[in-house]
Structure 1
Amino acid sequence: MLTACSESPPSSDGSGPPPKKVVVHTVGEREFVDRIEALGTARANEATLLTPNVAEKITDIRFRDGAQVNKGDILLRLDDRSERAELAAARARLSERQDALARAQDLAAQRVVSEAEVDLTRSELATAEAEVEAVAAHVEDRTIRAPFDGVIGLRTVSLGALIAPGDPIATLADIDTIKADFTIPARRYSLLQPGLPIRATTAGLPDRVYEGTIDSLDNEVDPVTRTITARALIDNKGRALRPGMLLEIELLAERRRNPAVPEAALMPRGDAHFVVVIIDNTAEQREVRLGMRTPGWAEILDGVAVGEQVVTRGAQGLSDGSAVEILPPLSERTQTEPR
């Protein structure tokens, strides 16, 4: 009686143990994306410190702190009374030289003066024109204009103050587009290319996700850290991001579709991974080469193909050639699942 109880019940044809019941999954393709995480710093698309070219007193300030300005807008004027007087005198001399040239040309036509005298008058006119341009440039040096569209920062000068070259007036920044500079290990360099999409978040705006693309890569690898710096451009039309913010960046590299199996189908053995494939209700163990892992799924680079069936439950104890009975999907199942 003990011997009889310990024996496995016979199979339907009496030739051996009955087929083991298993749950299988038909291998299909899934999309996988390599993700690289990095920390970056937000920078303005364009930024400059406004400073004068000459030493002079401030006579007019035409901007408000934090205001939007357009390229060419006058932001500040310096005292230019002396230069404007010189410009008026230079223009008067220019007008005189123009009249002198006209008279000389008329006299030359009448053969009263020589062509040499006409050439001398023409040369004097050119000198007067150059003088007007030079003085006009001195006048323009005393007008500070916006070099590009942007948001101006806090001014550090007051009306009537005497400033000199290099003294800061305010900063101007174009922040409609943000440059995100970040570093990644050089071994991941092959995954980077201009146009690669990124996502960026910052602790100051926890509910916002900003999308952008890689614009350029540095031309060398840091020999100490073995990292390379990349720069991405992020659309910032709402201007919520500000230069200097710390950004958490996620790169979405190398999108691809490959066979995938549920993680429950994997059987690790040391550094290797195996699955049980069912062919004609017979088990076959195969070693597979894994790619990336996502929650619940494993990318298969080699070992099984799309359309094959792998065991997800009931694989314990199966060996090559073992007979199996495939249970129907859970929604159709009326009997106990294998364990």
Structure 2
Amino acid sequence: MKKHFKTIIGGLLALGLLALILFNKTGLLSKQNDRSGFVSGKQSVILPVHAMVMREAPLNDVLVAAGSVMADEQVEIAAEASGRITKIHFTEGSSVKAGDLLITINNADLLAQADRNNFQLKLAESREERQKQLLEKQGISQQTYDQVLTELNALRAEAALLVAQLDKTRIKAPFAGLVGLRYLSEGSFVSPGTKIVRLARVQPVKIEFSVPERYVQYVHNGVSINFKVDNSAETYSAKIYAIEPVIDMQSRSITGRALYENKTGEVIPGSFARVELPLMNLSEVLQVKAEALIPEMGKNKVFVYRNGKAQPQNVTIGIRTERMVQITEGLQQGDTVITTGLLQLRPGMAVELRQLDQP
């Protein structure tokens, strides 16, 4: 029995040795080794990236501030006298000139008083002239003449008062501009202070903005600013013409105003304005996109494309804008800086340039 068992074991060992020899001759073991090498090669896959070539270009540092568009002049036209509106002389949304009659309030009683005063004034002037001639001939006393002259002057003062009261019933445009939507109709009763319509001059417009006090030295008359409004994709340019003489103690900021011609009227007063105040303009400097910069342990680095691989490079930066960062040391013109795939990059990793972006 034991002899038979040993024979079986010996036969199995012989078959196993024969099978090993056959596998080696047919190359199956070498193919398996090749396949394992292929699996390990997945760690060195080439990473597609975008990059930019370093070139000197202008770099402008700006401060972005919130602002508002204001009409050059704006006023709520209101009544100065009590009475009923007898006539509206303007069309809503139309332009008017300075001095144009806008509203007439019932003034029949004042006109009647003015007529009566006019008759009395003519009579008093004739009487004063006759009394003056008699005084020269010593036909009357000086006291009598003075009394007549006083009556004449009183009527003249009353005439001036009536003119002033009549002016309050004829509401005129204080300056040229656009009238808005009226709040009242003909026949409405108004009293002093009742608002009737808004008048605004929108050519030019003012841009009001505030900046923190540490930027005060950049805000002065004649400085050009750029601004945008939400209802247009265009960037507009205006010039600062006035600033507040003191810094606001609550916000610790200073307010300035700039003037924009607004010839076509596309900038509407009341709009929100995104103001860009220039701080520093550099003519020709090396710069990279902000997303290409990697902060690390208090320093900054970028990945540079060299001979098909990504190599880290420490850099020193200067001013920073919303999109770009100035490079003062570490790079030179012609270097290719990788701008995408930074999270996957490792020193010496193989990369493939798919796109070169412009600075």
Q: TM-score, normalised by structure 1?
A: 0.69
Matched to 1:260, the amino acid is V
Deviation at 1:90, TM superposition (A): 1.3
Between the aligned partners of 2:246 and 2:174, the Cα distance in structure 1 is: 31
| Partners of 1:197 and 1:253 within 8 A in 2 | no
**Unpaired stretches in structure 1, ≥5 consecutive residues:** 1-24, 275-286, 304-308, 315-339
Deviation at 1:196, TM superposition (A): 0.9
Aligned to 1:94: 121
Count of residue pairs the alignment pairs up: 269
Deviation at 1:188, TM superposition (A): 1.2
Aligned to 2:208: 181
Matched, 1:215 2:241: yes
| Partners of 2:114 and 2:159 within 8 A in 1 | yes
Matched, 1:157 2:196: no
1:63-82 correspondence to structure 2 within 5 Å: 63-82=90-109
Matched, 1:59 2:86: yes
CA distances 1:73-105 after superposition (whole Å, capped 9, x unpaired): 000101000000001111222211211111111
Deviation at 1:111, TM superposition (A): 1.8
Matched, 1:243 2:243: no
| Partners of 1:74 and 1:145 within 8 A in 2 | yes
Aligned to 2:173: 146
Summarize the Cα distance change of 1:132–1:262 in structure 2 as closer, same or farther, 3 Å threshold: closer
Matched to 2:326, the amino acid is A
| Partners of 1:215 and 1:232 within 8 A in 2 | yes
Aligned to 2:136: 109
Structure with the largest fraction of helix: 2
Aligned to 2:74: 47
Deviation at 1:293, TM superposition (A): 6.3
Aligned to 1:298: 326
Summarize the Cα distance change of 1:192–1:296 in structure 2 as closer, same or farther, 3 Å threshold: closer
Greater C-alpha Rg = 2
Deviation at 1:31, TM superposition (A): 5.4
1:163-174 correspondence to structure 2 within 5 Å: 163-174=190-201
Deviation at 1:115, TM superposition (A): 3.0
Matched to 2:162, the amino acid is V
Between the aligned partners of 1:254 and 1:114, the Cα distance in structure 2 is: 85
CA distances 1:234-283 after superposition (whole Å, capped 9, x unpaired): 111211222211111112345465x634669x9x9976799xxxxxxxxx
Aligned to 1:194: 221
Between the aligned partners of 1:240 and 1:262, the Cα distance in structure 2 is: 36
| Partners of 1:292 and 1:299 within 8 A in 2 | no
Aligned to 1:260: 285
**Unpaired stretches in structure 2, ≥5 consecutive residues:** 1-53, 302-314, 337-359
Deviation at 1:40, TM superposition (A): 1.2
Matched to 2:129, the amino acid is A
